[in-house]
Chains A and B, each alone.
Chain A
Amino acid sequence: TQLLEQSPQFLSIQEGENLTVYCNSSSVFSSLQWYRQEPGEGPVLLVTVVTGGEVKKLKRLTFQFGDARKDSSLHITAAQPGDTGLYLCAGPNYGGSQGNLIFGKGTKLSVKP
């Protein structure tokens, strides 16, 4: 069974600080996605990484896919209160007859003004 482990589980920081959250697995994934979920809403896709070693930037957010495609990280520069939310990583699960997405448990980020 493929598992995605995210760390830390909770993170509370002040506005302007930098942070990194991690998504790790013992399995190889063909791709990984990062989602952000705000309270009372469904998760929304931020980015998909598909190539080992790939780095993608989305404004102040930098996503990296590990060379071995078993892990990914999300780095936020100069965090803002609007970055507050639950960050989830997800990857396709091909353990069954068809692919479906499995999710990590998420990192709950709180950015205080």
Chain B
Amino acid sequence: NAGVTQTPKFRVLKTGQSMTLLCAQDMNHEYMYWYRQDPGMGLRLIHYSVGEGTTAKGEVPDGYNVSRLKKQNFLLGLESAAPSQTSVYFCASSYRSDRGNTEAFFGQGTRLTVV
């Protein structure tokens, strides 16, 4: 089982450059998420999607855009990278059970450095 796959795994950008992070899941999950993880800050939600064609803002959406054109893919874009966006980015997907508990499956992360 591939699960959740993120590409690329590492990237170095110059300030002002743009890039797209790709997340793909093969579990037919409705929900997909993008988090960033910084030391001492835990996992913070950037954007999420509850289904194909839908997106919503999370806790720290500024400077990022997302698209969910296909159910299995969730793209995270940085239009003009800034050093403050240096972080480890995690994609996750989940289903929702009848009890409302949402269990997330994570990718291995993308380590992004903006210089």
> Number of residues in A with C-beta < 8 Å to the partner?
27
Which of chain A's residues have a CB closer than 8 A to the CB of B50? 98
A30 and B109 form a contact (CB under 8 A): no
**Chain B contacts of A90 at CB under 8 A?**
104
Excluding A42-B108, A88-B42, 12 further A-B contacts by CB distance (< 8 Å) are A30-B100, A33-B101, A33-B104, A42-B90, A42-B106, A43-B90, A98-B56, A100-B33, A100-B58, A101-B45, A103-B43, A106-B42
Q: Which one of B4, B45, B100, B105 lies within 8 Å of A102 (CB-CB)? A: B45
Determine if B96 is an interface residue (Cβ-Cβ < 8 Å).
yes
Most chain B CB inside 10 Å of its own CB: which residue of A96, A97, A98, A100: A100
A50 x B43 contact (CB < 8 A): no
Chain B: residues with CB nearer than 8 A to chain A?
Answer: 4, 31, 33, 35, 40-43, 45, 48, 50, 56, 58, 90, 92, 94, 96, 99-109
Q: Is the CB of A48 within 8 A of B103?
A: yes
Q: How many whole Å from B106's CB to the nearest CB in chain A?
A: 3
Whether the Cβ atoms of A41 and B56 lie closer than 8 Å is: no
In the complex with contacts A98-B56, A100-B31, A103-B42, A43-B106 CB distance below 8 A = yes
11 A–B pairs (Cβ distance < 8 Å), ordered by A: A30-B101, A31-B99, A42-B107, A43-B90, A98-B50, A98-B56, A99-B96, A99-B102, A100-B33, A105-B40, A105-B42
- Bitwise, A51-82 to B at CB < 8 A (1) or not (0) is 00000000000000000000000000000000
A43 lies within 8 A of B101 (CB) = no
A-side contacts of B101, CB under 8 Å: 30-31, 33, 48, 50, 92
Q: Is the CB of A104 within 8 A of B94?
A: no
A113 within 8 Å of B (CB atoms): no
A113 to B95, CA, bound (A): 39
A44 within 8 A of B: yes
CA distance A83 to B39 in the complex (A): 20
A96 and B56 in contact, given A33-B101, A50-B101, A103-B42 (Cβ under 8 angstroms)? yes
Q: Which B residues touch A96, using CB under 8 A?
A: 56
* A70 to B31 Cα, complex, angstroms: 24
Q: Would B99 and A30 count as touching, CB distance under 8 A?
A: yes
